[in-house]
């Protein structure tokens, strides 16, 4: 008996963690926005097609690489767009609730329950704001004065509901998308029609995700679902025509959700058998964070590959050099001052500018292996790297050493 009781807390933890991934009670609006833009905005359509080709090339490149994965850290800022309530009440959710939501998000991305793939991505509330000041990564704005917000919440782009204009709400508080992933917590979306939505990674002033305050919790699957969209994951049922027919799956790399280890299915198919196909691991789809089924609990290896390829591709790549969660460089000498590397990220060629004296250049990968070593002179020089990834550039002079992260994109 004692032996069984000893294991009881572990069983309770696993049960509760699975419950924490419960599917969404209302729809995600991402598909509505994306479909509208694909039909009406040719520039958006070109960006999506370009991004698709870049991400696929990056995935193939990394599948042939045997190097150990790096854990990518993404700075986030949470904008609480409340209705004037006191902190911790109604839509003005508490700091603790937000912090716990981020912990829950990280637990899911790091596969704490052991049921899926460890994406090796983590999200941190910003500790430094765009002006370099200390912050807890949470901004609060009374948004009740924006027309229609108090009654219907926010209106996603391209949706006819009578809520507040999306840009008017986001303009109340937003940080540069090059350095922070923006999360807007709102009172409602279209008077309760949706629980969240996110921008696919094409950049722009309003890039980020929107989530209702009641879903910004540690036990909701909405936040990891929308973050998944933000890093270019589609719904596992993508292509079902609104729960009408099984998605086409002639080539899993270009059909359905563009991921090969999530079998295609219709939105409402969540039972023990997948009516669309017997191929693949059905649990990878019906228990996936990107599905609408209950008790979701995993990302797959294919989804991991896609999100990690996305974070190394513009516009997401710039988040990896952000100082939002601390300095992106290591300053070992106040005498040396600084050096400048641009563009960063780059596809290959970097320009480095030394403002004080010449020195030695050393470029290493995230495992510490030296990739490039050469002499650089005072002024401007260039160097190039071929393989996508994150690298550390170290410059040594008589005045000391400086190091800085750079990113080579696909």
Domain positions in the chain = 7-236+288-317, 327-408
Q: Is domain 327-408 given the CATH code 2.130.10.10 in the classification? A: no
Averaged pLDDT, 95-111: 96
The candidate with the shortest Cα–Cα distance to 268, out of 239, 297, 293, is: 293
Q: Is this model's pTM higher than 0.85 or not?
A: no
Measured from the Cβ of residue 255, the count of other Cβ atoms closer than 10 Å reads 15
Averaged pLDDT, 338-349: 81
The candidate with the shortest Cα–Cα distance to 80, out of 97, 60, 65, 56, is: 97
Looking at the domain that runs over 7-236+288-317, which CATH code has it been given?
3.40.390.10
More confidently predicted of 2 and 379: 379
Has residue 65 got a pLDDT over 90?
Answer: no
For the ranges 264-268, 360-364, 366-370, 399-403, the one whose mean pLDDT is highest: 264-268
The candidate with the shortest Cα–Cα distance to 157, out of 242, 39, 261, 310, is: 39
Q: What is the pLDDT of residue 191?
A: 92
The candidate with the shortest Cα–Cα distance to 143, out of 124, 115, 160, 165, is: 165
Averaged pLDDT, 131-135: 93
**CA geometry: angle at 378 spanning 377 and 384, to 5°?**
50
Averaged pLDDT, 149-168: 92
Helices 30-40 & 42-63 angle (0-180, nearest 10)? 110
Average pLDDT in the chain: 87
Distance CA 316, CA 202 (A): 9
Averaged pLDDT, 230-258: 95
Q: Is the CA virtual torsion 76, 77, 81, 86 positive or negative?
A: positive
Averaged pLDDT, 56-72: 73
Q: Which two tokens stand for residue 140?
A: 């609060």
End-to-end CA distance of the chain: 57
Has residue 76 got a pLDDT over 90?
Answer: yes
Distance CA 156, CA 167 (A): 9
């Amino acid at each position: 008996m004692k032996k069984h009781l000893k294991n009881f807390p572990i069983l309770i933890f696993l049960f509760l963690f699975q419950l924490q991934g419960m599917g969404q009670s209302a729809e995600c609006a991402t598909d509505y926005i994306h479909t509208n833009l694909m039909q009406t905005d040719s520039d958006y359509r070109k960006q999506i097609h370009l991004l698709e080709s870049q991400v696929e090339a990056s995935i193939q490149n990394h599948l042939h690489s045997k190097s150990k994965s790096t854990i990518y850290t993404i700075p986030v800022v949470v904008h609480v767009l409340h209705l004037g309530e006191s902190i911790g009440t109604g839509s003005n959710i508490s700091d603790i609730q937000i912090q716990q939501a981020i912990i829950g998000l990280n637990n899911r991305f790091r596969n704490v329950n052991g049921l899926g793939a460890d994406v090796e991505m983590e999200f941190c509330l910003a500790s430094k704001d765009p002006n370099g000041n200390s912050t807890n990564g949470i901004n609060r704005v009374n948004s009740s004065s924006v027309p229609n917000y108090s009654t219907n919440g926010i209106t996603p782009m391209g949706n006819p509901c009578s809520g507040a204009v999306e840009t008017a709400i986001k303009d109340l508080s937003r940080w540069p998308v090059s350095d922070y992933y923006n999360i807007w917590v709102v009172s409602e979306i279209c008077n309760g029609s949706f629980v969240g939505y996110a921008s696919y990674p094409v950049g722009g002033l309003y890039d980020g995700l929107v989530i209702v305050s009641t879903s910004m919790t540690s036990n909701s699957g909405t936040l990891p679902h929308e973050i998944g969209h933000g890093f270019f994951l589609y719904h596992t049922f993508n292509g079902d025509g609104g729960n009408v027919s099984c998605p086409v799956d002639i080539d899993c790399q270009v059909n359905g959700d563009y991921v090969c280890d999530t079998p295609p299915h219709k939105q409402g198919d969540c039972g023990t058998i997948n009516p669309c196909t017997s191929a693949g691991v059905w649990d990878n789809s019906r228990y996936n964070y990107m599905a609408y089924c209950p008790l979701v609990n995993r990302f797959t290896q294919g989804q991991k590959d896609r999100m990690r390829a996305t974070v190394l591709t513009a516009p997401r790549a710039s988040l990896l050099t952000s100082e939002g969660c601390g300095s992106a460089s290591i300053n070992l000498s106040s005498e040396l001052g600084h050096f400048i590397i641009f563009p960063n990220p780059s596809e290959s060629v970097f320009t480095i500018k030394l403002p004080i004296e010449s020195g030695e250049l050393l470029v290493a990968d995230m495992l510490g292996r030296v990739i490039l070593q050469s002499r650089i002179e005072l002024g401007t020089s260039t160097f190039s790297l071929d393989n996508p990834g994150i690298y550390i550039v170290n410059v040594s002079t008589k005045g000391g050493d400086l190091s800085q992260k750079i990113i080579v994109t696909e």
